[in-house]
Amino acid sequence: MTEEIKIAVVGLGKAGLPLAAVVADSGFEVIGVDTDERKCEMINNGINPIPEEPQLDELIKKYGGKRIKATTDYNDAKDCSAYIVIIPLYIDENKNPDFRILESAFRKIGQILKKGDLVVLETTVPPGTTENLVRRWLEEESGLKLGDFYLAYSPERVMTGYAISRLREFPKVIGGVDEESGKKAYELYSKFIPNLHLVSSAKLAEFIKIIEGCYRDVNIALANELFKIANELGVDFYEARTYANHEYCHIHLPSTGVGGHCIPVYPWFLIKEMEKRGKFSYAEILRTARHLNDEMINYWAEKIILECMKVKKPLSEVKICIKGITFRKGVKELYHSRNLALAKLLMEKGLNVFVYDEMFSKEEIEKLGLKWIDPEEADVIFDAFELKINRV
C-alpha cells in the first residue's frame, strides 16, 4: 500500500469512479462515497455500475470491496487524509449555478476533517469557488482554518468512454488556494496522475477548465453558422471545411447544438459572473454562442419538415425517425440532448415523430414517452450524428 495513505473519492459517477479505480490501481486504499446505495453495493461486490467504460470492469473486479470500499456514510471516510470531491454542479432555470449538492458534501467533509488533511475539488465550478465558498464551508463545519488543512482544485478532464486512458495520459492541472496547498496537492496527485502540471492558483485552474468548454461552444456555434450560410449559398460545407482546415485553421463540425453536462453549462459561469459585475459586453460572444447552438433545433426542424413535404402522404402521417437521441454517440445519457429536444419540438408541431438509438431498447424509448421505430420503416430519417436527412 502506498505509504498507507487512505484517500476518499466523493462522488462515484462517470468521472469519480474511474478516478477511484486509477487511484486504487496506484496502490492507495480508497473510500468511495456516493448517495446511491445500489451503486455502492455493486462496487463492493466487484461489479462495475458503468459497464460502457472501457478498462473499468477489470479494475472494479480487482479492487471493488477490497482496495475500493464504497459507502453512503461520510463517517466511513473519517480516517482518510485526503478528500477528492467530484460531484455535479447544475444550473437553475435562470442559468445560475446551484451549489446545494456541493455545499452539502463539503459540509459533511468538514464534520470529519482533521488537521493536516487535504481537500481537492474536481467538479467544474465558477472561478473563485474553491477559495471562497468551499473554504468557508469547510472552516465553518470543522472549526479549523486554512493552514490547519490544505485546499486545492484540479478539474476533471475525462471523457465518457475514454476515462481511464484520459486519467493515465491526458494533461491535468492542479492549483492550491495557497502555495502550500498547491504543493501538497501536487505531491499527492503526482503519485497517480502521470501528466500533471502545478499552476499558480486554484482560481486559475478553475478558469482553465471553463475556457476549454467555452472554446468548444463558440467554435461549434461558428461551424453551425457557417453551415447554414453554405447551404444558403448552395456550396458544400464539408468540402469547404476539408480544404479550409490546416495548421492555422480548424473549423469544427456542425450539429443540432451542444449537449451533455459540460459545454452547454460552463459558459454560463462566466456569462453570469460578468452580468453580476455589470460587464455585459465582456461575454457577448459566449452568450451568442449559447443562443446559436440551442437554436439549431429550429433550423433542423424546418429542414426536416421541408423533406417531409416531398413524401406523398399527408404531412401528419409521414413517419419521421430521429436516429440517435443521446447527447453524444456511444454515451447512454440524455442530459441537454439537442437531438431529443429536436424530436420533442417536432412532436409539439403535431408531426408523426419516432426515435431510434442503438443505446436504448424499444421499451426504454417508450418509457421516455417516445415512439420507437426501425429506421428502415420510416419515411424520413434524420441521422443526428452524420447530420444527413434521408428520404426513403
Same structural domain, 238 and 279? yes
Burial 113-137 (b: 16+ CB within 10 A, else e): beeebbbbbbbbbbbebbbebbbeb
Q: Using the 3D structure, point to which of 254, 278, 294 is the last residue of a domain.
A: 294
Does 228 map to a domain? Answer: yes
Does 1 map to a domain? Answer: no
* pLDDT tens track for 56-88: 999 999 999 999 999 999 999 999 999 999 999
Round to the nearest angstrom and report the end-to-end CA distance of the chain.
61
Return the pLDDT at 200. 98
Same structural domain, 147 and 238? no
Average confidence score pLDDT of the chain: 94
Active-site residue, 80 included: no
The most confident of 199-208, 304-313, 331-340, 376-385, by mean pLDDT: 199-208
CA atoms within 13 A on the CB side of 302: 5
Same structural domain, 227 and 284? yes
Does 356 map to a domain? Answer: yes
- The rounded distance, in Å, linking the Cα atoms of 312 and 342 is 23
Does 194 map to a domain? Answer: yes
Does position 318 have pLDDT exceeding 60, yes or no? yes
Q: Using the 3D structure, point to which of 261, 294, 327 is the last residue of a domain.
A: 294
Percent helix / strand / coil, the chain, rounded to 5: 45, 15, 40
Return the pLDDT at 14. 92
Same structural domain, 59 and 22? yes
CATH number at residue 223: 1.10.1040.10
* pLDDT tens track for 252-272: 999 999 998 889 999 999 999
User: What residue type is 355 in one-letter code?
Assistant: V
What is the domain extent for residue 375? Answer: 296-391
Same structural domain, 250 and 381? no
The pLDDT of 101-105, averaged and rounded, is 97
In this prediction, what percent of the chain has a pLDDT beyond 90?
89
Does 319 map to a domain? Answer: yes
Same structural domain, 12 and 135? yes
Catalytic residue, candidates 40, 80, 214, 262 = 262
Same structural domain, 281 and 307? no
Return the pLDDT at 277. 97
Catalytic residue, candidates 209, 319, 323, 344 = 209
Return the pLDDT at 330. 77
- The answer to whether 371 touches 344, Cβ cutoff 8 Å, is no
Return the pLDDT at 335. 87
- The rounded distance, in Å, linking the Cα atoms of 257 and 277 is 29
Same structural domain, 145 and 39? yes
Same structural domain, 283 and 187? no
Return the pLDDT at 385. 56
Return the pLDDT at 5. 87
Number of domains, the chain = 3
- The answer to whether 144 touches 151, Cβ cutoff 8 Å, is no
- The answer to whether 145 touches 171, Cβ cutoff 8 Å, is no
The pLDDT of 383-387, averaged and rounded, is 64
Return the pLDDT at 3. 56
Return the pLDDT at 331. 79
CATH number at residue 381: 3.40.50.720
Same structural domain, 308 and 338? yes
Q: Using the 3D structure, point to which of 168, 200, 232 is the last residue of a domain.
A: 200
* pLDDT tens track for 222-247: 999 999 999 999 999 999 999 999 99
DSSP 348: H
Q: Residue 297's closest CA among 234, 365, 224?
A: 224
Does position 274 have pLDDT exceeding 60, yes or no? yes
Q: What predicted TM-score, i.e. pTM, was given to this entire model?
A: 0.91
Does position 328 have pLDDT exceeding 70, yes or no? yes
Does position 37 have pLDDT exceeding 80, yes or no? yes
Does position 205 have pLDDT exceeding 60, yes or no? yes
The pLDDT of 122-148, averaged and rounded, is 98
Residue with the three cell numbers 444550473: 91
Cell numbers that stand for 160 in this block: 465518457
Q: What are the C-alpha distances in Å from 343 to residues 115, 138, 384?
A: 53, 44, 11
Return the pLDDT at 386. 57
E strand or H helix at 237, and its extent? helix 237-244
Cβ within 8 Å of residue 343, ≥6 positions away: 322, 325, 353, 355, 370
Return the pLDDT at 332. 82
Does position 327 have pLDDT exceeding 90, yes or no? no
Return the pLDDT at 384. 66
